Structure 1
Amino acid sequence: MKTILDFSNPHQPESARLRHEFGQPLQHWAAHSAAEVPALLNAVQQAAEQGLWCVGWLAYEAATAFDPAYAGAVHAAQPGQPLAWFGAHQPPQALAACASENPSTPRDVHWQSPLTREQFNTSVARIHEAIAAGDCYQINYTTALQAAANGAGSESAQAWFARLQSAQPGGYAALIDSADMQVMSVSPELFFDWDGSQILTRPMKGTAARGATPEADAQAAQTLRSSAKERAENVMIVDLLRNDLSRIAVPHSVKVPQLFQLQALPAVWQMTSDVVAQTRAGLRLVDVFSALFPCGSITGAPKRQAMRLIHALEPGPRGVYCGALGVVRPGLVPGRIHATFNVPIRTVVQHDGQLRCGIGSGITASAQADGEWEEWQHKQVFAKSLSPR
């Protein structure tokens, strides 16, 4: 078992990355029911307060642990997978070595989508009907690409993770190996960074394909920056995050210091905004998750109604995809922790002989099926890096 953490510094992206490698955990926790998730998070916090580093994830379906209203808005957990898993490690002493290619790694991954173009068009039309009826403003609609893992195991996951990082560098990347399941995330999206006092969220909404030439690329960025549709998609989620943060924030401390920033990824431009707050004294990690999870950027708005429609449109659970993945470690202030989590998009999960990779986008009133379908094709380019060229 090997866990690799390679996270950007959310506050200073150009500074040194949080980059470490961990072996077998000293202990681990798995929650197989919603009732077990809060106790797991409390155990993780206690371990971090005692000096350990805890790395793990929560599945999207763990939402029911934080709000009973989500019970009818998410599917049952992915078969054979827990709702949450964390491993505890001694503080790392050295920078991680990069994962490397392994001759035993399967040479080809053939992704298949269970969603046809006709089904996609029908779902987008249904979302537009719900928006027109006033039921919601935006829905993050997704599907899961699938492929055979061909008997691959932990060593293959390490090599695949290296390929994914090469195709999608930077961001908040991690490989978490829980023996029978490997999660390979190269997500560019920050969920939250919380030092026990200050919290930062950075929702990512708004996408444009990169241009083939420097001139075309600059034009693509400018078009995204000035797009009324993409800006509206982004600000809807910013407002949702502001509301979620207000549940744990000191009154009047929720701010939006940056709006509509562009982030260059290999295949697409992405628009992000920052939402920050000072959190109330005495909060625990489970309180932060209760207020924020799942991240509004992968549900839509309003959150509960969006999740109900997602449940009706998507035939099965999302699993780790669209949940949360990150590290909880000792804070700089004694007695505090520091938690950093991504939104696990651009994430591949290997389990039970299969690979899964979610793809999705936010559908608004002005979204067109053709444009959204094309966006999905651009977003899944990273997953094709699992097959060597």
Structure 2
Amino acid sequence: MHAARRPPRALVDFLSEDGRPPLRLAFEGCREVLRADTLAEVRTVLQAAERHAAAGAWCVGFVRYEAAPAFDAAFEVHPADGPLVWFGVFDSAAPWPDAPAAGAWSTGPWQSELARAAFDARIARIHQAIRGGETYQINLTEPLSSGFQGEAEAWFRALQREQPQGYAAFIDTGEEQLLSVSPELFFDWDGERIRSRPMKGTAPRGDDALSDARQAAALLASEKERAENLMIVDLIRNDLSRIARPHSVKVEQLFQARAWPTVWQMTSDVLARTREGTGLVDVFEALFPCGSVTGVPKVRATGLIRSLETAPRGVYCGAAGVLRPGGGAIFNVPIRTVQLRDGRAVCGIGSGITIDARPEGEWDEWRNKRRFLEAAAAPFTLIETLRLEGGVFIHGDAHLARLQASAAHFGFGWDGARVRQALDGLLAGHAEGAWRVRLLLDAAGQPKAEAFAFAPTATPVRIRLATRPMETVHPDFLRHKTSRRAHYSRFEPTEPGIFDTLLHNTDGEVTEFTRGNLAALTPDGDWITPPLSAGLLPGVGRGRWLAEGRIREARLTVDALPQMRALAFVNSLRGWLPAELVD
């Protein structure tokens, strides 16, 4: 037993397999802490946790990546920065607390010591090792760090909103906190059947439903990503065979694309039936660390990782999970995971490097993977702005379809009947005249509708071109309408008589207004609107006029803007407004 600053506690929200209900539980009243600080203690602690679970207790905890040599001395790791194994023993579990965690939190800017030149050099070294026959693939990672203030659980719940439906665990040991919202299953074992789901292959989400589907299809069709995934599948099959009954190792759902709010990930399932007498130590000895976070072959991969990376990984890339009462265990691979201690937050980011990997592509993948940190930094709601006229919501079905798509993308709760009920509640007091309706949806799926007086807009509206391009913005907050609008607000006009500002991106492409989309009449007599790839909201009005053939998508640059014969501000609320560009 070690003295702790606070009583240990935990929250676990794990998907379960084979028809079992998910584990959504809270743990308080820890009666014992099991902890290994040396490699010699690792097996002993795992065996003790297994005994407690067999006797009816819940054991919740983690295994640091640096515990690997306890299972095979050939694994090479950095010295650990905390306990190699930690488990809290709990006599019972409480239901998951649906109420949001109280308290504020904040982080500073996320920093990395890895410069781009050093990143490129590490990939070059891995390519050299692959060409020399040392390895086929290496999982390269780097820690990001930041200061942290506030309530750790509140931050965990915010992170989970950005990475829903995975294997989320909040573990407070009293000395440090683990905030894991990992989408990757390490293993789910009921004492006989064991399933592992390695995750290899990443693609960013698309700008709209069509491009999103194309991104998923491209990921599944990518020879590079499939080869990367298959290498790890073969490694997991080999690892499982060490504890499996003969001929029981099988691959299910090879190459599946799974959607997360910021990325698509490719997964595959490997199953086996374990031999009689297999214990938790045997499972870890066969599988740990997971091949998806090392590379192939595993032992040589850990040696290369040790030489390339400058700091311990900690719980990141280790294992975090639960031992169930009566036996069986489920653990994630802690990616998308933050480790907190003494006001400092650390989060690892990484990817698998094969011979086909290119530095610019991997650098972009790392940026995509860290977006869940940035997105969680400020809670937001989804927004739809509708026109209510004569007791009818104009294009109401299209607005609700867009809202539902955004809710699915971000993992927000959705109850279509409740959303419609919120809108219908406005009808009694606003059955006549025209109204601007603001419909909000929070992460829990709670809708709120408000109506405001609405007057027709005199035309033509006067607009100005932004004096500078819009800085790089998380694409989710361009293609989905949310309350996170600082990137628009700073461009909203303050000059009397100016209706809106016309925006453009860093590539010199015209995009949209701060409150609507653009239509432009070309010298050839065609009405065009910038494509979504330029970075803009897929407005409901814009979608309607595209479907009717009144406008078509085409790239429009700032330099070409003076050549346009006419401009229009378009959205569902105000319709089609002729616009005049003011110099």
TM-score band, normalised by the shorter chain?
A: over 0.9
The answer (yes or no) to whether the contact 2:240–2:286 under 8 Å persists in 1 is: yes
1:162 equivalenced with 2:157 (yes/no): yes
Partner SS state of residue 248, structure 2 = coil
1:379 equivalenced with 2:369 (yes/no): yes
Letter in 1 for 2:352: G
- Residue of structure 2 equivalent to 1:334: none
Letter in 1 for 2:290: C
- Residue of structure 1 equivalent to 2:289: 294
Question: What does residue range 167-316 of structure 1 map to in structure 2 within 5 Å?
Answer: 167-316=162-311
The answer (yes or no) to whether the contact 1:233–1:362 under 8 Å persists in 2 is: yes
The answer (yes or no) to whether the contact 1:99–1:158 under 8 Å persists in 2 is: no
Q: Root-mean-square deviation (CA), in Å?
A: 1.3
Identity of aligned residues (%): 53
The answer (yes or no) to whether the contact 2:138–2:301 under 8 Å persists in 1 is: yes
- Residue of structure 2 equivalent to 1:82: 83
The answer (yes or no) to whether the contact 1:205–1:230 under 8 Å persists in 2 is: yes
Superposition deviation, residue 11 in structure 1? 3.2
Superposition deviation, residue 23 in structure 1? 1.2
Superposition deviation, residue 22 in structure 1? 1.0
- Residue of structure 2 equivalent to 1:130: 129
- Residue of structure 2 equivalent to 1:142: 141
Superposition deviation, residue 99 in structure 1? 4.2
Structure 1 unaligned blocks of 5 or more: 332-336
Distance 1:24 1:146 in 2: 31
Distance 1:275 1:386 in 2: 32
Distance 2:83 2:356 in 1: 37
- Residue of structure 1 equivalent to 2:34: 29
Range with bigger deviation, 249-258 or 219-228: 249-258
The answer (yes or no) to whether the contact 1:113–1:146 under 8 Å persists in 2 is: yes
Distance 2:123 2:299 in 1: 19
Once the two structures are superposed, residues 33-80 of structure 1 have per-residue CA deviations (whole angstroms, 9 ceiling, x without a partner) of 01101010011000000100000000000001111111xx100001xx
Once the two structures are superposed, residues 198-229 of structure 1 have per-residue CA deviations (whole angstroms, 9 ceiling, x without a partner) of 11000000110000111110000000011000
Superposition deviation, residue 330 in structure 1? 2.1
- Residue of structure 2 equivalent to 1:117: 116
TM-score by length of 2: 0.63
Once the two structures are superposed, residues 72-92 of structure 1 have per-residue CA deviations (whole angstroms, 9 ceiling, x without a partner) of x100001xx111100011232
Superposition deviation, residue 108 in structure 1? 3.7
Distance 1:263 1:238 in 2: 16
Superposition deviation, residue 107 in structure 1? 3.1
The answer (yes or no) to whether the contact 1:41–1:285 under 8 Å persists in 2 is: yes
Distance 1:147 1:49 in 2: 40
Distance 1:87 1:57 in 2: 10
The answer (yes or no) to whether the contact 1:109–1:387 under 8 Å persists in 2 is: no
Once the two structures are superposed, residues 217-267 of structure 1 have per-residue CA deviations (whole angstroms, 9 ceiling, x without a partner) of 000000001100000000000000011001101111111122001110011
Letter in 2 for 1:135: E
Distance 2:147 2:17 in 1: 35
Range with bigger deviation, 377-386 or 299-308: 377-386
The answer (yes or no) to whether the contact 1:10–1:190 under 8 Å persists in 2 is: no
Superposition deviation, residue 98 in structure 1? 4.4
Distance 1:349 1:107 in 2: 15
- Residue of structure 1 equivalent to 2:314: 319
1:345 equivalenced with 2:340 (yes/no): no
The answer (yes or no) to whether the contact 2:107–2:148 under 8 Å persists in 1 is: no
The answer (yes or no) to whether the contact 2:105–2:154 under 8 Å persists in 1 is: no
1:50 equivalenced with 2:55 (yes/no): yes
Once the two structures are superposed, residues 293-349 of structure 1 have per-residue CA deviations (whole angstroms, 9 ceiling, x without a partner) of 000000000000111000000001000000000000124xxxxx1100000000001
Distance 2:29 2:325 in 1: 19
Partner SS state of residue 163, structure 1 = helix
The answer (yes or no) to whether the contact 1:207–1:375 under 8 Å persists in 2 is: yes
The answer (yes or no) to whether the contact 1:99–1:161 under 8 Å persists in 2 is: no
Superposition deviation, residue 2 in structure 1? 2.9
Letter in 2 for 1:120: F
* Residues 201 and 98 (structure 1), Cα distance of their counterparts in 2 relative to 1, 3 Å cut: farther
Structure 2 unaligned blocks of 5 or more: 1-7, 380-583
Distance 1:281 1:123 in 2: 43
Distance 1:41 1:345 in 2: 22
Partner SS state of residue 213, structure 2 = helix
Distance 1:222 1:27 in 2: 49
Question: What does residue range 55-66 of structure 1 map to in structure 2 within 5 Å?
Answer: 55-66=60-71
Letter in 2 for 1:57: F
Letter in 2 for 1:350: L
The answer (yes or no) to whether the contact 1:108–1:386 under 8 Å persists in 2 is: no
Structure with larger Rg? 2
* Residues 99 and 69 (structure 1), Cα distance of their counterparts in 2 relative to 1, 3 Å cut: farther
Distance 1:9 1:137 in 2: 32
Runs of 4+ in 1 over 2 A off after TM superposition: 93-99, 105-109
Partner SS state of residue 88, structure 1 = strand
Superposition deviation, residue 93 in structure 1? 4.3
Letter in 2 for 1:9: S
- Residue of structure 1 equivalent to 2:17: 10
Distance 1:35 1:149 in 2: 33
Superposition deviation, residue 384 in structure 1? 1.8
Distance 2:145 2:87 in 1: 25
Distance 1:302 1:229 in 2: 18
Letter in 2 for 1:231: R
Superposition deviation, residue 16 in structure 1? 3.9
Distance 1:109 1:328 in 2: 35
Distance 2:195 2:70 in 1: 23
The answer (yes or no) to whether the contact 2:31–2:91 under 8 Å persists in 1 is: yes
The answer (yes or no) to whether the contact 2:188–2:195 under 8 Å persists in 1 is: yes
Distance 2:100 2:334 in 1: 20
Distance 1:185 1:364 in 2: 27
Distance 1:208 1:168 in 2: 15
Partner SS state of residue 126, structure 1 = helix
Distance 2:377 2:95 in 1: 31
Once the two structures are superposed, residues 171-198 of structure 1 have per-residue CA deviations (whole angstroms, 9 ceiling, x without a partner) of 0001000001000000000000111111
Partner SS state of residue 331, structure 2 = strand
Letter in 1 for 2:141: T
Superposition deviation, residue 100 in structure 1? 1.8
